Amino acid sequence: MTERAPMPLIGDPFPRFEVMTTHGKLTLPDAFAGKWFLLFSHPADFTPVCTTEFVAFQKRYPEFRELNTELIGLSEDQVFSHIQWVRWIEEKLGEKIEFPIIADTGEVAERLGLIHPNKGTNTVRAVFFVDPKGIIRAILYYPQELGRNIDEILRMLKGFQLADAQQVAIPANWPNNELIGDKVIVPPAADVATAAKRTQEYECFDWWFCYKPASA
């Protein structure tokens, strides 16, 4: 009996897949080399909550692209169902879905842990954040009955990019944190000498909690 590979975790390379999509065959993560991408699964085409999510993702697609980020959807519906659904969305709702949607055979869903038996046989709503090096940076799961907050997904993406660029940490509710507003957290001191200088170099609540404005 073949042993199943464990579900990938944050910090792992995104698994390599060849997939059929509404934009033809793609190889992941190679198709998005040098870019961030978000793979997000939905339970089924022609369902109300999923339709609202796809419209919301598409409306913000230009913002994702400005952040060097691509989107790719996924469900276990066949590709002709995806095609008909996106045509319906354009005709009835006026939104042309520009990003590809994977018609999964079950391989991707199984490998990424998208089937949660206690929530049915369809894929749950998951989001995988993958950076330009093909590393998984975050994984979100939502049940079928709850639609995603696309603004929060954008906030997370901006936070990751800022953290990477400036080697800082991002506070809760950034950029509207209750303690430090839109400022960012300086990494903790790694030795006694650095700790002693921290309160002179930055704004601090204490040596272990210092912060600064995000650089332009």
The C-alpha atoms of residue 207 and residue 1 are separated, in whole angstroms, by: 55
The catalytic residue among 28, 31, 38, 50 is 50
Burial of 99 (0-12, 13-18, 19+ CB in 10 A): buried
Residue closest to 100 by CA, chosen among 47, 57, 48: 57
Please check whether residue 157 is in contact with residue 67, taking contact to mean a CB–CB distance below 8 angstroms.
yes
Q: Contact, 174 vs 184, CB < 8 A? A: yes
DSSP state for residue 42 in the 8-state scheme:
-
Task: From 35, 34, 42, select the one nearest 108 (Cα to Cα).
Answer: 42
SS3 for 142? strand
Active site residue 50: yes
Q: Which residues pair with 125 in a beta bridge?
A: 142
Residues identified as active-site = 50
